[in-house]
Amino acid sequence: MTRNELEDLIRKTLEEFILTPNGSFRVGAPPAGVRADYMTSAALIFAKQAGKTPRVLAEELAAAFRRTSACADIEIGVEGPGYINFILNETALLRLFERFARRRGKNFDFRLGQKIHIEFISANPTGDLHIGHGRGAFYGDILARVLEAAGASVTREYYINDSRESVQIRELGKTALGKGKQYKTTKLEALIGETDFSGMSEADAGFALARKIEKANEYFIEKKLGIRIDRWYSEDGNIRVQQLAEKIIGELRVQGMVIEEEGALWLDTSRGGDDEKRVIVRSDGSNSYFISDIAYHADKFSRGFDSVIDVWGADHHGHVKRMMAVKNMLGWEGDFRIFITQLVSLKENGTSKKMSKRAGTIILLEDLVDELGIDVVRWFFAEKAISTHMDFDLALAREQSAKNPVYYAQYAHARAHSIIKKTEGENMDGRGVIESIKEPAGRALVVKILRFSEVVKDISEDYQVHKLTTYSYELASAFSQFYRDVRIHDRGKVNSGALELVKVAKQTISEALALMGVSAPAEM
């Protein structure tokens, strides 16, 4: 019985004890040191509602579980204040293992049939990506990979703020025409040097230069970061040219949601839960960023996704409330989530400071990847929850890159590969996987492998992608311990059951790494 099946059983049983269990319980791994595969605190949570002490309810639930045929191969015990612990016996584990092994890398069905849209990175086309962009880039990419593994159909999109109307494109245009120096770097100067901007307006020159920068960024993201983007959504081509903003403004006017004041047009987002009204058309007649983004989101929601996800940088947090307000006001259908990645600051000599182009304290993502390698960089970003504030110490990152846990996980994979290769053409001894499960290290490895599906399910529900690094490390560790304790080549023959276990372990490590976009080398 998998954890999901166990959850269903507990829910059903609870309903027999209490008519409608009010509240959520969990089934999970017990803390280290407790001998059990799963535990639930359901009895503690529902004791009051059932009118019993937790311990009594736990005993009664445990007795009910034991009576079901599904629990025939599971030892059920009540511990402490009322935890119910489940220990799967070898037969049960073998059955689950075989079912898991048959799956062989196929997607799960936790979010089967769902259409999910995820917008991430969306860096301005005014320069290179720096390490601050790395958070959103890898978080979005890994989340998309996990959602796909959970069975969803995911569209990955990158919004390019390249509207000829925008202030930044006009500023970029001034720089291109030699009339300003915003965004200027040696790299940008070289780019300007190879283009003829003569006769162009500031807006057109800015747009032309932005295209060049953008093409370089797209190449970098796809080729060097290994991030697939399904659609590069140009604001200029899709919003400005199509007049999407104007259409939305028309709708908003009809619905009486706008206010004209001080020569500008405002949207009264306070009706949807925001604090105050926001400018959508400036007094000079140009559209604000906000109305473009509203138009963009209206477009997204019109495409019929079950779920729309935005991954934004910390500097956009003030924008969350107003966009949610717009969703409420316009009645967009679908689940909408906005994730904010916290800032990356630099740490030197023990003190942290903000990255600044002017002060030259900016680290480009490309330089980091060139220096440390993409696998190390991916793991580095993947292991931190996006809500943590990263203090990035380049010296420390360099020093520790050789000791990055990513190598540990990759090493386990390479070792498994090597073992499997060595068994080609050798005599199998016919032992079954069950023999390996009888070894503590084998049992632990099987249990860890089976958790893979739970990790995918959990992340597809709570979006906490950093769980993948923890899991991958634990899986590699379980494998290393199995390698220590159980010989695959045993006295001239191959322990066929152990070999099968190694094969599935290798496959699972490789899948877990793939969800993070990390390679699984055959040798190291």
Partner RNA sequence: GCCCCCGUAGUUCAACGGAUAGAACGAGGGACUUCUAAUCCCUAAAUCGAGGUUCGAUUCCUCGCGGGGGCACCA
Nearer to RNA, 333 or 370 (CB): 370
Query: What residue type is assigned to position 237 of the chain?
Result: G
Q: Shortest Cβ distance from residue 115 to RNA (Å)?
A: 26
Nearer to RNA, 224 or 347 (CB): 347
Residue 14, φ and ψ in degrees, nearest 5: -60, -40
> To 5 degrees, how large is the angle CA 412–CA 417–CA 419?
95
Considering only residues 76 to 95 of the shown chain, the ones binding RNA according to CB under 7 A are: 79-81, 83, 85
Strands (E), 212-334: 231-234, 258-261, 264-267, 278-281, 307-313
Binding residue count for RNA, defined by CB under 7 A: 90
Q: Shortest Cβ distance from residue 60 to RNA (Å)?
A: 16
> To 5 degrees, how large is the angle CA 307–CA 313–CA 319?
70
Question: In Å, how far are 204, 282, 294 from 285, measured between CA atoms?
Answer: 19, 5, 17
Tell me, residue by residue from 345 to 384, as one string, x for binding to RNA by CB under 7 A and - for no binding.
Answer: x-x----x-x----------------------------xx
| Cβ-proximal residues to 140 (8 Å cutoff; 6+ apart), any chain | 118, 119, 120, 121, 156, 227, 311
Q: Interacting stretch for RNA, rule CB under 7 A, among 133-141, 224-232, 507-515, 516-524?
A: 516-524
Contacting RNA (CB under 7 A), which of 6, 45, 96, 245?
45
Q: Shortest Cβ distance from residue 286 to RNA (Å)?
A: 7
> To 5 degrees, how large is the angle CA 47–CA 50–CA 54?
25
Contacting RNA (CB under 7 A), which of 405, 442, 497, 517?
405
Contacting RNA (CB under 7 A), which of 18, 203, 264, 394?
264
Q: Shortest Cβ distance from residue 161 to RNA (Å)?
A: 3
Contact in structure between 307 and 116 (CB atoms under 8 Å): yes
Q: 238: which 2 tokens?
A: 């899709």
Residue 82, φ and ψ in degrees, nearest 5: 150, 25
Contacting RNA (CB under 7 A), which of 63, 241, 428, 524?
524
Query: What residue type is assigned to position 221 of the chain?
Result: I
> Rounded to an integer, what is the distance from CA 150 to the centroid of its chain?
12
Nearer to RNA, 45 or 369 (CB): 45
Question: In Å, how far are 29, 64, 331, 443 from 451, measured between CA atoms?
Answer: 9, 26, 39, 13
Contacting RNA (CB under 7 A), which of 403, 430, 438, 440?
403
Please give the helix or strand (H or E) that residue 428 lies within, else none: none
Which of 365, 344, 494, 314 lies closest to 420 in space, CA to CA?
A: 494
Q: Shortest Cβ distance from residue 192 to RNA (Å)?
A: 21
Considering only residues 326 to 345 of the shown chain, the ones binding RNA according to CB under 7 A are: 340, 342-343, 345
> What sections of 282-372 are H helices per DSSP?
289-302, 317-330, 365-372
Which of 94, 93, 96, 75 lies closest to 84 in space, CA to CA?
A: 75
Regarding 101 and contact with RNA (CB under 7 A), the answer is no
Nearer to RNA, 179 or 228 (CB): 179
Regarding 461 and contact with RNA (CB under 7 A), the answer is no
Considering only residues 119 to 148 of the shown chain, the ones binding RNA according to CB under 7 A are: 124
Regarding 387 and contact with RNA (CB under 7 A), the answer is yes
Contacting RNA (CB under 7 A), which of 385, 395, 427, 428?
385
Q: Shortest Cβ distance from residue 321 to RNA (Å)?
A: 7
Contacting RNA (CB under 7 A), which of 135, 300, 378, 466?
466
Nearer to RNA, 49 or 153 (CB): 49
Considering only residues 190 to 249 of the shown chain, the ones binding RNA according to CB under 7 A are: none
Which of 442, 446, 425 lies closest to 481 in space, CA to CA?
A: 442
Regarding 31 and contact with RNA (CB under 7 A), the answer is yes
Q: Is 256 left (phi over 0), alpha (psi -120 to 50) or beta?
A: left
Q: Interacting stretch for RNA, rule CB under 7 A, among 131-139, 142-150, 192-200, 466-474?
A: 466-474
Regarding 436 and contact with RNA (CB under 7 A), the answer is no
Regarding 483 and contact with RNA (CB under 7 A), the answer is yes
Q: Shortest Cβ distance from residue 163 to RNA (Å)?
A: 7
Which of 406, 400, 438 lies closest to 509 in space, CA to CA?
A: 406
Considering only residues 286 to 315 of the shown chain, the ones binding RNA according to CB under 7 A are: 286, 288-290, 314-315
Regarding 519 and contact with RNA (CB under 7 A), the answer is no
Nearer to RNA, 99 or 403 (CB): 403
Q: Shortest Cβ distance from residue 333 to RNA (Å)?
A: 25
Contacting RNA (CB under 7 A), which of 12, 15, 34, 428?
34
Query: What residue type is assigned to position 375 of the chain?
Result: D
Contact in structure between 390 and 245 (CB atoms under 8 Å): no
Look-up: residue for tokens 């009664």? 60
Regarding 158 and contact with RNA (CB under 7 A), the answer is no
| Cβ-proximal residues to 412 (8 Å cutoff; 6+ apart), any chain | 475, 476, 477, 479, 480, 509
Q: Shortest Cβ distance from residue 106 to RNA (Å)?
A: 27
Q: Interacting stretch for RNA, rule CB under 7 A, among 94-102, 141-149, 221-229, 316-324?
A: 316-324
> What sections of 402-488 are H helices per DSSP?
405-422, 433-437, 440-462, 467-485
Regarding 414 and contact with RNA (CB under 7 A), the answer is yes
